[in-house]
Amino acid sequence: MKVGDYVVRQSYNKDVLFIIISITKLHTAQLKGISYRILADAPLSDLELVGNMRFTTPESSIMEMIAQNIEDILMQHKIADTTQMHKAGKVLHIDGDPFYLNVCLRYYEALEVSAVGENIPESMQPKKVKELIELHNPDILVLTGHDSIHKHAQVREDGIENYRNTKYYIEAVKEARKIRPTSNQLVIYAGACQSHFEEILSAGADYASSPSRVLIHALDPAFIVERVAYCPFNQVLSLDEALKYTITKFEGLGGYENLGKFKRGGPLKKLDDVVLTPEVLEDIKIENYTEIDRSNRNQIGNSMPIKTW
């Protein structure tokens, strides 16, 4: 086995696909998840090469669901486009991992969400966040990367020191709130896999991970902020609606109700006047993900499927 190989862990029933990012002299591989924000290590003897496979069976089912989610979301956007003027919320996505940042930026584009990305190590996010907010002036802020609970920690009962990066997300949220104190000014999502959900919310975040201390999917933040970006500014976005298209849902994510960031302008055609006849639905139908699209995976720097709609 070598760096760059795709593998699964036999001791975990081959549940998650990884790429080998380094191998130690003790024959231990450092691994990064493809679909999930997870860093792990495993002895080479526990790993199984998967050849050209880019998803485990459970992950393949999830990607089919994601493709359908995007189709549904874009249909909603198409209907909203009957408004002659509109503006959705802008996202600043700060990520400790360039791989997952690239994944999310590609999907923001597919979801028609205006987003800028910054690759900032988790430990530096508290020091950089105010500067980046002032630079980009976002409506929605994402603070993410990697996190985990130390192997011998007692979940929920021990302190923040038992979490790899939660303290940095907490500090970054607090720094952001110094210049954008309210959710009306800035909606914040913060956290990664197994993060201390309660403490991040207490610091001032609107959404966070991970209530059940589970792994979150790489695209969970993108699907939350899309809902915020396209919810009208004068309507309350319920938590059910905010998490509607996420993968890990209430086990991996949670937060509060918020007002949206979508604004309509004039001249305005009322959405109530749009009659969804069969002809209209056919006109806005989104093509399903096809086999041809799979040949383009490597062009985006990751193995997740993406389609240019």
Q: What one-character-per-residue DSSP string does 140-154 give?
A: EEEEES---B-TT--
> What percent of the chain clears pLDDT 90, i.e. is strictly above it?
56
Q: 173: pLDDT confidence band, cut at 50, 70 and 90?
A: very high
Residue 84: the pLDDT is 64
230 has pLDDT over 70 = yes
Residue 82: the pLDDT is 58
Output the CA torsion 296→301→304→308 (10° steps). Answer: -50
Residue written as token pair 């110094």: 178
Q: Dig out the tokens for 104 from the structure.
A: 């999310």
Handedness of CA 81, 93, 33, 6 (dihedral sign): positive
pTM over 0.85: no
289 has pLDDT over 50 = no
Residue 35: the pLDDT is 80
Q: Do 294 and 54 form a contact (C-beta atoms < 8 A)?
A: no
- Nearest Cα to Cα of residue 306 among 106, 123, 79, 85: 106
Q: 16: pLDDT confidence band, cut at 50, 70 and 90?
A: confident
Give the neighbor-by-neighbor strand order of the sheet with 254-255: 115-119, 91-95, 140-144, 187-190, 207-208, 254-255
Higher-pLDDT residue of 79, 174: 174
Higher-pLDDT residue of 299, 306: 306
Residue 268: the pLDDT is 58
Across the range 65-74, mean pLDDT stands at 90
Residue 258: the pLDDT is 95
Q: Do 37 and 144 form a contact (C-beta atoms < 8 A)?
A: yes
Q: H/E element holding 275? A: none
Across the range 3-32, mean pLDDT stands at 89
Q: Do 176 and 186 form a contact (C-beta atoms < 8 A)?
A: yes
Residue 305: the pLDDT is 45
Mean pLDDT taken over the chain: 85
